[in-house]
A and B are shown apart, each in its own frame.
Chain A
Amino acid sequence: MPILDEKIKQEVTKILANMVKPITIKLFTQGMECGYCKETHELLNEIVATNDKLKLQVLDLEKDTEEVKKHNIEEIPAIVVMDEKDHGIKFYGIPAGYEFSSLLNALLMVSTGVAKLTDETKAFLDKLEKPVDLKVFVTPTCPYCPQAVILAHQMAYYSDKVTAEMVEVSEYAHLAVKYQVQGVPRTVVNEKWFQEGAAPEQILVEKIKEAL
């Protein structure tokens, strides 16, 4: 049974018609697919079928060790959205519910090459010397979460020093414990600094400064 209904599929087709450059979506899963791996796989199949510029590459966490290492994959299902280059844009867990917008946004952003950030933020990111990792914890029913995910992904796309992952926390209970997630969205900067809520650009920039 298809995972996206006809109406949503039409809307996806319309949105992705604005794509410019071809995009590769890498899905990391495993031979015997976990529940959400299977659904994520099916979802991506259906999205890729809507536009010729999209290519899906399915990889195995156990077998494709080099790819796993190259993209620094820690959990499955994992999605990497990239063009010829990995910009550090990842999704751990299925981008369903409100997070579906975050996935489409990532595809369009990388394809059109436009990351909507202020000049101040860009200037700050240009001067980064150390790597910055942003983990954005979400639940699919959280309407405030895509804002935090999209901001993190924009920073990752703009700067080679930044990597950003959406983490659908209900699929990874151990990560919820590790990062003490009890509310979403929660952005974890370099493993240690936390930003609660969908913070505006400048606030996240301040948090990153603190972490560096």
Chain B
Amino acid sequence: MDFNISFTAGAKPEELYDLIIIGGGPAGLTAGLYAARYKIKTLMIEKMPVSGGQLTATEWVENYPGFPEPILGQKLAKDMETQAKLFGLEVINEDVVKVELTGKIKKVHTPYAVWQAKTVLISTGSSPRKLNVPGEAEYKGNGVSYCATCDGPFYPDKIIGVVGGGNTAFEESLFLAKYASRIYLIHRSDNYRADEILKERVEQNPKIEYVPFYQVDKIDFANPDGKKIILSKTPNPGNVIPAQAGIRPVLSNPTHHPESVGLRPTTPSDEKMELTVDGIFIFIGNDPNTKLFEGQLDLENGYIVTDRSHKTNVEGVWAAGDVQSKALRQVATAVGDGACASYWINKYLEEWKE
């Protein structure tokens, strides 16, 4: 049994901090660790009582170097936090509601206080993207989920639809397969972005079945005994990128699979299908948590634009991790971003004058 502790105390709003880090995922925690070692007076503001961000909702991390045995996401997060605090990082659990970034002194508002600093590092990460289909918001928490470690236990021997084609969708399908009796992995094409190793595992798992070339049109969980999702063939199949070599859908036409009891075509051409499920998990990528910064910072598709030193277009403001406009969003890249940003912030502070 695990016992996860995360605790904070001691920060005072009347202090002027050298650095405020907004968001306590791997990028923020690493920046915090480096900053604490530089002896920069640093405050991290994390809204959740446990630091770690998305890492906390990840079961196993297999691709973070140094851990040849997979490490639990919650353990890695906890250890990162412990390490940073060991060197003196202060963390408070408050929700940032407003920022004033342009002045010499930056102001960060929470419902309880206004925190002030010479520099700000934004590491607010990203949140699961919504499908934006009818029924999704309505049945959130009632069969619609974005967190497998949270809600997986509600689906023993149940049928689950998982939407997505990337690493998260594949990893979480494998996690959910520990509980569920059957998983339909629904994706717009048969071109899966997940790492090869995950594809192999999914294909070897008898509980997981690919449903390629379909998108979710509607989630209809109104009848608790007949929950269903409505799928339709992805439009413009011509736009779908051809399958990568060696990857082939288990089923080109899932409706004809004898075991696919839950799948029922509603039109003769299979244009539309009804899928009977007990729940649906959505892993179709993330959206950056940048609403607070709109109009204050340069954004690109919602992500914060930075230069090579992780600086934003506003003086004294940096960004690191998933929230940055960049190609790869992993724990390994986030910690690098955080370390680098702290380095440049430290340099900047050496020259800082009121």
B-contacting residues of A (Cβ < 8 Å)? 3-4, 8, 11-12, 15, 18, 39, 43, 94, 96-98, 100-102, 104-105, 116, 118, 139-147, 150, 169-170, 176, 180-184, 186, 194, 196-198, 200-202
When distances are taken between beta carbons in the complex, the residues of chain B under 8 Å from A181 are 154
28 pairs, CB–CB < 8 Å, chain A vs chain B: A8-B5, A11-B5, A12-B5, A15-B5, A96-B2, A98-B4, A98-B50, A101-B4, A101-B5, A101-B7, A102-B49, A116-B112, A141-B74, A141-B150, A143-B52, A143-B150, A144-B147, A145-B150, A146-B48, A147-B49, A169-B154, A180-B142, A182-B143, A183-B141, A183-B145, A196-B140, A197-B140, A200-B111
Contacts of B48 in A (CB 8 A): 143-144, 146-147, 198
B270 on interface, CB distance cutoff 8 Å: no
Complexed CA–CA distance, A105 and B4 (Å): 12
| Contact B49 A3, beta carbon cutoff 8 Å | no
Picked from A118, A141, A196, the residue with its CB within 8 Å of the CB of B149 is A141
Interface SS of B by simple majority: loop
Query: Which of B1, B4, B140 lies in contact with A3, CB distance below 8 A?
Result: B1
When the two chains form their complex, are residues B150 and A139 in contact, meaning their CB atoms are under 8 A apart?
yes
Q: How far is the CB of B122 from chain A (nearest CB, A)?
A: 19
Task: For the complex formed, measure the closest distance between the CB of A179 and the CB atoms of chain B, giving whole angstroms.
Answer: 11
Q: Give the residue of B47, B50, B111 whose beta carbon is less than 8 angstroms from that of A101.
A: B50
Give the residue of B3, B141, B147 whose beta carbon is less than 8 angstroms from that of A100: B3
State whether B47 touches A147 (Cβ < 8 A). yes
In the complex, what residues of B have CB within 8 A of residue A198's CB?
48
Q: Which of A3, A8, A118, A180 contacts B111 (CB 8 A)?
A: A118
State the Cβ distance, A148 to closest chain B Cβ, in Å: 10
Mark each residue of chain B from 273 to 289: 1 if its CB lies under 8 Å from any CB of chain A, else 0: 00000010000000000
Task: Give the shortest distance, in Å, between A103 (CB) and chain B (any CB).
Answer: 9
The answer to whether A18 touches B140 (Cβ under 8 A) is no
Is the CB–CB distance between A146 and B154 below 8 Å? no
Q: How far is the CA of A123 from the CA of B348 in the complex (A)?
A: 43
Tally of contact residues, B, Cβ under 8 A: 35
Residues of B within 8 Å of A43, CB to CB, are 3
Q: Please name the 5 residue pairs, one residue from A and one from B, whose CB atoms are nearest each other, closest first.
A: A196-B141, A143-B56, A183-B141, A142-B150, A100-B3
Which chain A positions have C-beta within 8 A of B224?
Answer: 180
Additional 18 contacts, C-beta under 8 A, given A18-B9, A143-B52, A200-B95 = A12-B5, A100-B3, A140-B2, A141-B74, A142-B149, A143-B56, A144-B48, A144-B57, A145-B150, A182-B154, A182-B279, A183-B140, A183-B150, A184-B150, A186-B141, A194-B141, A197-B140, A200-B111
Decide yes or no whether B153 CB sits under 8 A from chain A: yes
Report if A143-B74 is in contact (Cβ < 8 Å); known contacts: A100-B5, A101-B5: yes
Within 8 A of A (CB), among B2-20: 2-7, 9
Q: Provide the bound-state CA to CA distance between A3 and B140, in Å.
A: 35
List CB contacts (< 8 Å) of B107-151 with chain A.
Answer: 111-112, 140-145, 147, 149-151
Complex Cα gap A212–B341 (Å): 49
CB-defined contacts of B7 to chain A, threshold 8 Å: 11, 15, 101, 104
Which of A8, A104, A140, A176 is B154 in contact with, Cβ under 8 Å? A176
Given A143-B48, A198-B48, CB of A101 within 8 Å of CB of B151: no
Closest to A12 in B: B5
Which residues from B are CB-within-8-Å of A94? 1
Q: Give bound CA distance, A107 to B144, whole Å.
A: 34
Bound-state Cα–Cα, A97 to B279, Å: 24
Which residues of B sit under 8 angstroms from A182, Cβ to Cβ?
141-143, 145, 151, 154, 279
B147-191: CB near A (< 8 Å → 1, else 0) gives 101111110000000000000000000000000000000000000
Q: How far is the CB of A120 from chain B (nearest CB, A)?
A: 8
Chain A residues lying within 8 Å of B151, measured Cβ to Cβ, are 139, 142, 182-184
Measured in the bound complex, the distance between the Cα atoms of B152 and A204 in whole Å is 25
- B153 close to A170 (CB less than 8 A): yes
Q: Is the CB of A150 within 8 A of B49?
A: yes
For A184, the closest partner residue in chain B by CB is B150
Residues of chain A lying within 8 A (CB to CB) of residue B150: 139, 141-145, 183-184
Binary contact track B45-71/A, C-beta < 8 Å → 1, others 0: 001111010001100000000000000
A89 to B42, CA, bound (A): 34
Q: Output the nearest chain A residue to B1 by Cβ-Cβ distance.
A: A96
CA distance A197 to B6 in the complex (A): 20
Contacts of B47 in A (CB 8 A): 147
With both chains docked as a complex, state the minimum distance between the C-beta of A196 and any C-beta of chain B, in angstroms: 3
**Bound CA span A41–B140, Å:** 35
On whether the beta carbons of A8 and B95 are closer than 8 Å, the reply is: no
Contact B3 A8 (CB under 8 A): yes
The reply to whether B9 and A101 form a contact with Cβ atoms under 8 Å apart is no
- Provide the residues of chain A in CB contact with B95, threshold 8 Å: 200
Question: For residue B279, which residues in chain A have a CB less than 8 angstroms away from its CB?
Answer: 182
Measured between beta carbons, the chain A residues less than 8 angstroms from B111 are 118, 200-202
Query: How long is the Cα–Cα vector from A198 to B147 in the complex, in angstroms?
Result: 13
Q: Is the CB of B49 within 8 A of A105?
A: yes
Q: What does the 1/0 interface line of B73-115 toward A look like (CB < 8 Å)?
A: 0100000000000000000010100000000000000011000
